[in-house]
Amino acid sequence: MKIMIAYDGSRNAKLALAQIVNMFRCNQPLLVLVGVVENPLDATDNNETLFQQERDELKQHLQEGVTFATGEGFEAELLLAEGDARKMLLQATQKLSPDLLVIARHSHQPDGGIIAKSLTYFVDELDYMTFGSVSSFLARRAECPLLILPSP
């Protein structure tokens, strides 16, 4: 059994990983943690530096998630993709054919302070109005079972 988990190192992603570990402990599936970093909008040095910083941070979060899963006795791998999160997650399911895709619904209680909360809320609303959420996109297009875990 192979379970793919969309993982960005956020509080909700960590909670989702912990829930999957508890739910599927008896099955001992292969866990594939997939993280997606958005491409920079232009190729200026500043954007390239920020992109590389985000990529390195995401890779570290993925590695921490893999370390957690292997510490719990699971076989785990990581996959780091670049581009639109919705499309990259969909491509990952098409390439790896998981038995289950798990995503944590985005929380209205982000990890940061009041400014981060306000910005996240604004960006979420704008994203939902223009493109729909990642979970909505994948619910319509993924060809494998999808488990969307609610934010606590």
User: How far apart are alpha carbons 117 and 110 in whole angstroms?
Assistant: 6
What is the β-pairing status of strands 30-37 and 100-104?
unpaired
- pLDDT, one tens digit per residue, over 67-119 is 999 999 999 999 999 999 999 999 999 999 999 999 987 655 555 566 666 66
Q: How confident is the model at residue 150 (pLDDT cuts 50, 70, 90)?
A: confident
112, 23, 138, 116: which is closest to 69 by C-alpha? 23
User: For the chain, first and last CA: distance in Å?
Assistant: 27
- pLDDT, one tens digit per residue, over 59-76 is 999 999 999 999 999 999
